[in-house]
Structure 1
Amino acid sequence: MIRPATPADAPALARLHVLAWGETYRGLLPEEEILARPFGRRLEQWRREAAAGTSRIAYAPGLGFAQAGPQRDGALAATGWPEELYGLYLLKAGQGRGLGRRLLHAVAAEGPMTALVLEENHPACVFYARTGARCLEVRAEHIGRAEIREAVYGWTTPPR
């Protein structure tokens, strides 16, 4: 049910990304920020990501995906966090069946890894904690014009 994504999956990944953003962030982000990431924008993103081959992308057709790769935050990389979970999105229809944990395991690094999550996204924070991550810090950030508080979670060993 979970497999590595291929460039041919870009349209499906883009559709899932748009749907998951709507389900996950409605009420946590301004509607204009959710709508600012339409299918066409996500399709370009996933065509680039899938073709680049610089990250690990696990795909659960019709339900969700996870992506991880080299750390993008220089300060975190410099302090011993070489890998990052770029995203894990699972539609509500796929939640509660262990699929999120399987997606995470499919892309997880063998060593230290971080993930960024909206501090107000309590289900994601609880999920990361249950898989062995701890909150390293909370920082003020922006998504578009929206001010947010972003929690940085870290696993020192592969997620459980």
Structure 2
Amino acid sequence: MLLITPATPEDARAVAEIHISAWRAAYRGVFPDAYLAAQSLAEREAWWAEVIAGGKTAVLLAKSADTLRGWLSFGACRDTDAPSSQAELWAMYVAPDIWSRGIGRTLWHHAQQTMHAQGFTHCSLWVLAHNARAIRFYTAAGFQLDVCPPKSIERGGQCFEARRYLCVLAT
């Protein structure tokens, strides 16, 4: 059984472990190998502990058998053109060895209900144009490509195009 709970700073290490392993799996062949290999668990753990403790973003955990399987982070949209009623899915990652088992979908449904309860009516996210797997997932979840121009994201000394997707939050 999958349990969805809010993260605490004590969860930061497990969140960081999935973050790094999912990046290495999802972005192999996209981001430079040296960049992916250089990801520091200690730095990522410290960053997530601060983010979780700060409360600017909600971090939801998907656990089964007391083991973290995936997580999702969301908050108010950071885009300057976004209305106050728009949330943003900041990040979502599932342990790569259990991709395509419904964990991401369960996290998204729970987050969607939470966003709606917080008064948000829409949600946006940014996804790399090269990330076909993520685009398929988000499109199936109800997101549609936005008409706004893409933005450039730098990783490992290289620039990548990211596109914004939007969805109406279900009630």
Deviations 1:82-132 (A, max 9, x none): 210000111222222211111112223221110111111101001101111
Query: Which structure 1 residue ranges, 5 or more long, are not aligned?
Result: none
Count matched residues: 157
Contact 1:63 1:93 in 2 (8 A): no
Paired residues for 1:66-145 under 5 Å: 66-75=72-81, 77-78=82-83, 82-108=86-112, 109-110=115-116, 111-136=121-146, 137=148, 139-144=150-155, 145=157
Contact 2:25 2:96 in 1 (8 A): yes
Q: Distance in 2 between matches of 1:81 and 1:120?
A: 29
Contact 1:56 1:69 in 2 (8 A): yes
Contact 1:81 1:114 in 2 (8 A): no
**TM-score calculated relative to the size of structure 1:** 0.88
Q: Distance in 2 between matches of 1:22 and 1:86?
A: 18
Deviations 1:63-94 (A, max 9, x none): 2111000111212x14x762100001112222
Contact 1:14 1:43 in 2 (8 A): yes
Corresponding position of 2:166: 154
Q: Distance in 1 between matches of 2:170 and 2:152?
A: 27
Q: Bigger radius of gyration, 1 or 2? A: 2
Question: What is the DSSP-based 3-state SS (H/G/I as helix, E as strand, rest coil) of the residue aligned with 1:97?
Answer: coil
Contact 2:13 2:45 in 1 (8 A): yes
**TM-score calculated relative to the size of structure 2:** 0.83
Query: Which structure 2 residue ranges, 5 or more long, are not aligned?
Result: none
Moved more, 85-94 or 126-135: 85-94
Sequence identity (%): 28
Provide the alpha-carbon RMSD of the alignment. Answer: 1.9
Q: Give structure 1 regions of 4+ aligned residues with deviation exceeding 6 angstroms.
A: none
Q: Distance in 2 between matches of 1:153 and 1:45?
A: 26
